[in-house]
Amino acid sequence: MAEYKRSLRNFLILPNFQLRFLGYFVALFFISSLCFYSAIYLFFHNLRTRALAIGVPKGHVFFLYIDGQQYDLNQFLIYLVVLNFILLIIVGLVVSHRVAGPIYKLKKFLAQIDHNSPDFKLRSKDYFKELEPIVNDLKSKIKE
């Protein structure tokens, strides 16, 4: 079986699977980030509403302080969201490669299988390592 060489052009092993896999995580990430932002907004909105309800005048320094705190927290959230998004993409690509790699390799192996084929072997950190003995047993049962 020919050795598969990866390059930047074919970085994704199974693009349809891997992009859909990453898409689910990115969608969940944006939903959770929106929930965090909404919680922060709601907290400060309620704080302003309660301050007005107890008689703090609109131009009071308290509202300037609250606005500054909300601005700082929003800035921190933006930095955190960007950092987490980068980490999500990196970890998502690694995990998707560990899932897609064995599927791709098994597909190629089964397309070229015969009695003289080398044993099916996955990388040490790949998922589905339990397939190795099953596929190799199947290969040994093939008669020419």
**Rounded to an integer, what distance in angstroms lies between the CA atom of residue 102 and that of residue 142?**
21
- Examine the pLDDT at 140 and tell me if it is beyond 90: no
Express each pLDDT in 65-75 by its tens digit: 999 999 999 99
Q: Domain coordinates of the chain in residue numbers?
A: 15-141
Alpha-carbon Rg of the chain, whole angstroms? 27
pLDDT in tens, 83-127: 999 999 999 999 999 999 898 888 888 888 877 788 888 888 889
Asked if the model's pLDDT at residue 131 lies above 70, the reply is yes
Q: Where would I find the H helices in the chain?
A: 15-53, 61-111, 131-141
Beta carbons of 57 and 48 less than 8 angstroms apart: no
Q: What is the pLDDT of residue 1?
A: 46
Quick one: CA dihedral 106, 19, 25, 7, positive or negative?
positive
Among 19, 64, 70, which residue's Cα sits nearest to residue 41?
70
